[in-house]
Structure 1
Amino acid sequence: MGDIRFEEIEFLVELLSKYPLESLRSIAKKEGLDYYKLKRIYDKYYRKYLTVSAMYNIRLIGLKSFVAFLAVSPESLLETAVKLTRNPFVRYVNPAFGFKNGLSLYLQIPHDQVELIDQMLGKYSDDFEYYEVRAYTKEKLSDEWGNWDLGYEYAILMDILKWDARTPITEISEKLGKSRPTVRYMINRLKERNILIDFVPLPDMNVSDRGVIGITKELDEEVLKRFRDYEISVGIIPGWGYFLEWFFSSKEDMGAKILEFSRYVEKILVEYFDPTFKELNDRNSRTAFQRMVKKDGSGYRSILEF
């Protein structure tokens, strides 16, 4: 990690949360900051340890989120991950050990292809389990799903904004072969349809290189207060329970973390954010939507094609 200072990353995350797309000069002026000091911090960390990313409501474009866990032998981990990360519907793959030893996956699956998941995962392992996961909320979960009804160029745009939402409009227009006003219209259209929810700064695995995944039928909300100082993600497994993921550094005591978190879940697993796997995931993620969508924009390709 070298001379990485977490307080500087936190400072940059806080600023970019307020001003995700504004120029550094504009941010410095609004916050009364020294522009050159801000630029030094930005250049030191941005695109290396955090990136501003577009957040999408994938339900409106017909995608369901799943987590999956595959039993894979140690000697086959990398080979299997390489195959999986050729599939754009597999959004990330990481080594994981616990209730299932092998690989942890996050999937985005077209709602009308859910019945193909077993066949898809069966190509990589004969021992797996998976769960649908939705955002944690106390509101009633919707069972209505949209479909992809946008042109193919929107898939390319969504990839660009997901990868780095601070990509200059001029650069985006060149990649799409569209004028700058057309690109702005396309972005506004995604916002107006509530597909594009927000732009948020996301620290990457270089900051947190371990995760503890827990699955439980009951959620004690005290656990959220108990671990408020940790980066924690909570999801709902419809009709079953809850999915929890804690992120932390390998410099921390992993044994203590497992012991601590295991009291609140029924299944537990440790996920490793390895640089080699990050490279595979980044390569896959960078063009995922444009490889999911048919070139004529008529819908999604089959999850079994890859």
Structure 2
Amino acid sequence: MNEVKIEEVEYLAEILEKSPRGSLLKIAKEEGIDYYKLKRLYDKYYGKYVHVSAIYDIAKLGLKSYVAFLSVPREDIRRVALQMARNPFIPSIAAMFGFKNGISAVLHVPKEQTNLIDELLSRYSDDYEYYEVRAYPEKPKEFGDWNLSYDYAVLMDILKYDARTSPTKMSELLGKSRPTISYMIRRLEETGIIRKYYALVDMTAYNRGFCGITDELSEKILGKFRNYEIHLGVLKPQGYLIEWYFSSKEDIGAKIFEFSRYVKKFAIYYFDLLEGIEPNYKFAERVKRDGSGYRSILEF
């Protein structure tokens, strides 16, 4: 494969963001761009460095989102990460070095199981901290329950993995007719469980990341990093999480100097250290087969 060009990856992601489930021909016509150029970029990068994913409002499904930071000896990081990756309630894991040396993880915890978080994390480390995290800007949250059949969990996994999966393929995987699949997707969209479809850039395109925690999120910070590839989160009960993604080919020292001035504590993500370890985010493994609710986060 030819060298990955970040600007091409980002261009493809931007185009697919506008029409996440549309055909390439339709997208080319709507955007007024050459179909063959689009197809070349699509064939080169889609499924490797860019994919379209359904983004869910997990609060509607009774799940709370947490970010955890665990101290893990460097020689044990891959072993612990592999153990954590078996748990479908831990959808994201990264090696980190900074205010904690070890692992950063995202947790999706059923609202009635939040009292089990300490017991879960203590399996992996004796030294950890975690925060409930919500999207920025924060909006009022009402936490619902899982009240769908098990088939919806399977469909949600398909849409999460690749929202551009064809209706025919979805029908084959679920053993249901295409009209039934269309109805199920519409139901997820109309109830707001599917918030949107997002064109994600695989973090192997950015093999480093900066994680910072701050008590205040000033306009100065927002203005300074407005044009960077950053994600913002609101920490509960107080604070903000800032994540900034970049390449190891860039001057990491300069970035640390630039960014650390705006946060209380910081760390660097090394995404490539856990290459080959894929977290299990599957709803089909979180949900009981009878659709009656969630399994325990301690089962895995």
Give the Cα–Cα distance (whole angstroms) in 1 for the partners of residues 138 and 283 of structure 2: 30
Please state if 1:240 is matched with 2:238: yes
Residues 67-86 of structure 1: matches in 2 within 5 Å?
67-86=67-86
Q: Which runs of at least 4 in structure 1 moved beyond 6 Å after TM superposition?
A: none
Residue of structure 1 equivalent to 2:250: 252
Give the Cα–Cα distance (whole angstroms) in 2 for the partners of residues 125 and 62 of structure 1: 27
Aligned length: 300
Residue of structure 2 equivalent to 1:277: 274
When the two chains are superposed, the root-mean-square deviation of aligned CA atoms in Å is 1.4
Residue of structure 2 equivalent to 1:299: 293
Residue of structure 1 equivalent to 2:224: 226
CA offset at residue 8 of structure 1? 2.0
Instruction: Give identity over the alignment, percent.
Output: 56
Residue of structure 2 equivalent to 1:185: 183
Letter in 1 for 2:278: N
Name stretches of at least 5 consecutive residues in structure 2 with no aligned partner: none
Residues 25-44 of structure 1: matches in 2 within 5 Å?
25-44=25-44
Residue of structure 1 equivalent to 2:56: 56
Give the Cα–Cα distance (whole angstroms) in 1 for the partners of residues 231 and 219 of structure 2: 13
CA offset at residue 2 of structure 1? 4.6
1:46-75 Cα shifts (integer Å, max 9, x gaps): 011100110110000011111101111111
Give the Cα–Cα distance (whole angstroms) in 2 for the partners of residues 98 and 14 of structure 1: 32
Give the Cα–Cα distance (whole angstroms) in 2 for the partners of residues 240 and 28 of structure 1: 45
Moved more, 57-66 or 222-231: 222-231
Give the Cα–Cα distance (whole angstroms) in 1 for the partners of residues 5 and 243 of structure 2: 24
Residue of structure 2 equivalent to 1:96: 96
1:66-107 Cα shifts (integer Å, max 9, x gaps): 110111111111110110000000011111011111111011
Give the Cα–Cα distance (whole angstroms) in 1 for the partners of residues 181 and 134 of structure 2: 30
Moved more, 3-12 or 52-61: 3-12
- SS of the counterpart of 1:90? coil
Moved more, 258-267 or 61-70: 258-267
Give the Cα–Cα distance (whole angstroms) in 1 for the partners of residues 44 and 81 of structure 2: 30
CA offset at residue 11 of structure 1? 2.2
- SS of the counterpart of 1:299? coil
- SS of the counterpart of 2:88? coil
Give the Cα–Cα distance (whole angstroms) in 1 for the partners of residues 210 and 113 of structure 2: 29
Give the Cα–Cα distance (whole angstroms) in 2 for the partners of residues 4 and 93 of structure 1: 24
1:268-294 Cα shifts (integer Å, max 9, x gaps): 1111111x6343225x23xx1100000
CA offset at residue 238 of structure 1? 2.0
TM-score (norm 1): 0.95
Give the Cα–Cα distance (whole angstroms) in 2 for the partners of residues 32 and 262 of structure 1: 42
Give the Cα–Cα distance (whole angstroms) in 2 for the partners of residues 185 and 292 of structure 1: 23
CA offset at residue 138 of structure 1? 5.5
Give the Cα–Cα distance (whole angstroms) in 2 for the partners of residues 154 and 83 of structure 1: 27
Residue of structure 2 equivalent to 1:125: 125
Give the Cα–Cα distance (whole angstroms) in 2 for the partners of residues 272 and 7 of structure 1: 21
